[in-house]
A = this chain, B = another copy of it.
Amino acid sequence: MTTVGFIGLGIMGGPMSANLVKAGFDVVGYDITRPNVDALVEQGGKGASSVADAVRDADVVITMLPNHPQVEQVVFGEDGVLANASSGTLLIDMSTIRPETSVAVAKAGGERGIAVLDAPVSGGEAGAKQAALSIMVGGNEADFASAKPLFDAVGKTIVHVGAHGAGQVVKAANQLVVGGTYALVSEAIVLLEASGVDPKAGMDVLAGGLAASRILDLKRDSMIAREFKPGFRIDLHHKDMGIVTSAAREAGVVLPVGALVAQLMASALAVGDGGLDHSGLLRGVERLSGT
Contact = CB atoms under 8 A, between A and B. Distances in A.
Interface of A: 99, 122-123, 134, 136, 138, 157, 159-163, 165-166, 169-170, 172-174, 176-178, 180-181, 183-185, 187-188, 190-192, 194-198, 201-206, 208-215, 218, 242, 244-245, 247-264, 266-267, 269-272, 285, 287-291
Given A161-B197, A247-B195, A259 B257 contact: no
Contacts of A258: 184, 187
A176 B208 CA distance: 15
A257 B187 contact: yes
Copies in the complex: 4
Contacts of A250: 195
Dominant secondary structure at the A interface: helix
A257 B184 contact: yes
Contacts of A197: 138, 161-162, 166, 169-170
B169 A202 contact: yes
A45 B5 CA distance: 56
